[in-house]
Structure 1
Amino acid sequence: MRRRTFVSVAGGSLAALSGCLGNGGENGNGNGGNGDSTDTRDATETEDGGTATPVEDPTITIATYDSFVDGEDPVGPWLKSEFEAEYDATVEFRTPSSGINQYIQRAQQGAEIDVDLYVGLNVDELIRIDEQLDSALFDSLDGEIDGSDRVRDELRFDPDGRAIPYDTGYISLVYDEREVTPKTFEDLTDSENAGELIVQNAQQSDPGVAFLLWTIHEFGADGYLDYWSDLQDNDVRVLGSWDDAYNAYLNEEASMVVSYSTDQVYYGDQPRHQVGFLNDQGYAQPEGMARFADAPNPDAARELMEFMLRPDVQGVIAQKNVQFPAVADADLDEEFDAVAHVPPEPVTFGYDELAGNLDGWIEAWARQIVG
């Protein structure tokens, strides 16, 4: 698909047909064709007397989350511009309000899914897909994506090779060093820090789920609720989303908030934007991209996935998405390395550990903490 001429040949040889034509996907307006339209574009005569009609470039439709395409200098528009400049394709984005749930529901209803890629998939959502659907929502691409062998092994979270990591975050604390110095989980329950911690609701927020899982990793399935009871006794504040929690922190309603270890990429090394790794740990939260099983343009989607794993592109994705790259050879500048902090001991739960357990852990937490 890279800067090739697409032609469909009528009444002549097939030798001129080149490039990745997909499987009859969307037109340049993002609307699927009905198969009945007549192509009115100018046809050219081939050497053997047939006719060749230019084929419209494919449109790759990506479903993702809001901040990937909106906000201050998001990565999505840059990705679209750079890919379209190098490849004969158009990139369009959709940001469904219910995220991956929209496509789970459509699959359950047998409805068409006219999207090629989902960008922003995590292990929690992958487990939800597998628990709720009997048929495959995404293709298994293990070994088919050039560059996927360069993805760091510790970030791979899909045993079936459907979700390919493209970046990762590490959940940590962000704190005001003038007020608190959190070093351990026990520090958060110390009476001196009463009312100073803001967390997200694990029923509504990815960082909220990650912090909950971090406490389960630390205290075990039999002990995490006791730890959360101690947090409650110390007046922990549970707000809905990351935005809710972080805005409250920016308004100085508390001295600690659960957030990401890349906080200083945006705010710099300021007293109120210190990164805290409890027990020298941070919870890894890789994000993946996956191609829908019925993608209108599967070959074009594959090339976009490969593009996103290139070292130069990985460097820009990391900096604009304020996350860490998924590959070890990403092109990153020294300034990013200086302010983006990797925990001494990254921890996480894998697919097999979460499958069959995640929903129960969240439900038990919700009954005690927000119920």
Structure 2
Amino acid sequence: MNGAICKLKRVLLIFALVFILPAWCHAGQTLTLMTHDSFNVSKEVIAEFERENDVVVRFLKSGDAGAALVQAILSKNNPMADLFFGVDNTFLSRAIGADIFEPYQSPMLEMIPDQLKLDNENRLLPVSYGDVCLNYDKAWFKEKGIAPPTDLTDLTRAEYKGLIAVQNPATSSPGMAFLLATIGKFGEGDYLNYWKKLRENKVLIAQGWSDAYFGHFTAASEGDRPIVVSYATSPPATVYYAETEPEEAPTVALVTDDNAFRQIEFVGILKGSKNVTIARKFVDFMLSKTFQEDIPLQMFVYPASGEAKLPEIFIKYSKVAEKPLKVDPAAIETNREKWLEDWTNVMLR
């Protein structure tokens, strides 16, 4: 009897060593990525990284990019995650000034164009980018016999009165990018005059992108605004999500010279992470061809890597701005609150 019991104990011990212990160890290896609510990635892509590195990746979505960054800064002494994705060039200086990121010169940076690299110390590494610009409803303008806009200055003309919806820059990331576009185009001394003209021309201010696009844009709703601030990648999105693929995109993104603002999104390893080695591997993975080629149809922005192939729908229906508007990240950080206050005084009071 005792021999049978001992044999059973040995069997149970072997079972635990072979099956239970590895599973327990695997469950204990967790890598946490803090990010904004719009982040998305294919399950099979993440599963590949988890399988190859024997780790579970957890995503901590924490509101919009600005709100998520504030949380990361406030918790810097006891970080909530190992990495942070979603800092863009409008918050770059704030993120770097808060000193919450570990420098890491990933070997995958060789595949990233220099114009996307904004941090010389590689605390924040570029992952994706998108051009914020005007989008217009082709059918609406054709039906009305009105020429669509070709430049931001067109929006102040009488024929475009009451035709545009924009987002509040204090509550919307594309809204902030569009405000910066006007500062980049007209300069600090004249951008408010441009906004005053837009107000006189009955511009509609929406709280966020969804409200503007799906609540007021004629190409996506029952609204009455055939022009909206959106992304250069919105036209391929309209085709991708259509029940039947149209012969051409129903909308056009205005990416002519000096009419779009480029948003670049970065990833960084948070100081205090207890998983720095695997976090570095995940940064490499985010810059790898596998992850980069998953980006377009998951988040409808462009991959940062020059090695990533774009899906056919992007090649056919989207175009990158060759000469986007720029505002220095340091100037954005220094002046953001003043610009927002001045804009609010002109547009909402």
TM-score by length of 1: 0.77
DSSP 3-state at the match of 1:232: helix
Residue 260 (structure 1) aligned with residue 260 (structure 2): no
Q: Deviations over 1:231-252 (max 9, x none)?
A: 0010111111111111121223
Of 39, 64, 75, 1:68 maps to 39
**1:284 aligned to which of 224, 242, 262:** 262
Distance 1:332-1:279 versus aligned 2 partners, 3 A rule: closer
The aligned counterpart of 2:111 is 150
Shift of 1:153: 1.3
**1:4-27 Cα deviation digits (max 9, x unpaired):** xxxxxxxxxxxxxxxxxxxxxxxx
Question: Structure 2: which 5+ runs fail to align?
Answer: 1-14, 142-146, 240-246
**Aligned equivalents of 1:170 and 1:55: distance in 2?**
43
What amino acid does structure 2 have at the position aligned with 1:139?
Answer: E
What RMSD, in angstroms, separates the aligned Cα atoms of the two structures?
2.4
Q: SS of the residue aligned with 2:205?
A: strand
1:88 aligns to 2:51 (yes or no): no
Pick from 166, 171, 178: which aligns with 2:127?
166
What is residue 175 of structure 2 aligned with on the other side? 208
Name the residue aligned to 1:128.
Answer: 94
1:1-371 matches, cutoff 5 A: 55-56=25-26, 58-69=29-40, 75=41, 77-97=43-63, 98-107=67-76, 110=77, 112-130=78-96, 133=98, 136-141=99-104, 143=105, 145-178=106-139, 179=141, 180-248=147-215, 249=217, 250-251=220-221, 252-268=223-239, 270=248, 272-277=250-255, 279=257, 281-371=259-349
**1:298 is aligned with what amino acid?**
V
Compute the displacement of 1:130 (Å): 4.8
In structure 1, C-alpha distance between the alignment counterparts of 2:92 and 2:346, rounded to whole Å = 26
1:366 aligned counterpart, secondary structure: helix
Distance in 1 separating the partners of 2:203 and 2:118: 31
CA shift in 2, pair 1:296/1:342, >3 Å:
same
| Shift, 1:77, TM fit | 3.2
What is the total number of aligned residue pairs between the two structures?
Answer: 311
Structure 1 contact 119–289 (Cα < 8 Å) conserved:
yes
In structure 2, relative to structure 1, the CA distance for the partners of 1:230 and 1:138 (3 Å cut) is same
Deviation of residue 138 (structure 1)?
Answer: 1.0
- Where structure 1 has 5 or more consecutive residues not aligned to the other structure, the ranges are 1-40, 45-51, 70-74
Between the two structures, name the one with larger relative contact order (CA 8 Å, sep ≥ 6).
2
Q: Report how far residue 114 of structure 1 moved.
A: 3.1
- Contact kept, 8 Å, 2:163 with 2:203, in 1: the verdict is yes
2:103 partner amino acid: S
Give the counterpart letter for 2:102 in structure 1. Answer: D
- Partner of 1:345, secondary structure, is coil
Whichever structure has more helix as a proportion of its residues is: 2
Instruction: Rate the CA distance shift 1:181–1:365 in 2: closer, same or farther, 3 A.
Output: same
Deviation of residue 43 (structure 1)?
A: 6.2
- 117-126 or 351-360: bigger deviation: 351-360
Using the TM superposition, name which of 308-317 and 321-330 deviates more.
Answer: 308-317
Alpha-carbon contact 2:256-2:322 (below 8 Å) kept: no
Distance 1:337 1:271 in 2: 12
SS of residue matched to 1:357: helix
| Alignment check: 8 A CA contact 1:151 1:327 kept | yes
Q: CA deviation at 1:128?
A: 2.9
1:86 deviates by: 2.7
Distance 1:76 1:260 in 2: 22
**1:347 Cα deviation (Å)?**
2.4
Is the Cα–Cα contact under 8 Å of residues 236 and 249 in structure 2 kept in the other structure?
Answer: no
Note the C-alpha offset of 1:208: 0.7
Deviation, 1:348, is 2.1
Aligned-pair identity in percent equals 29
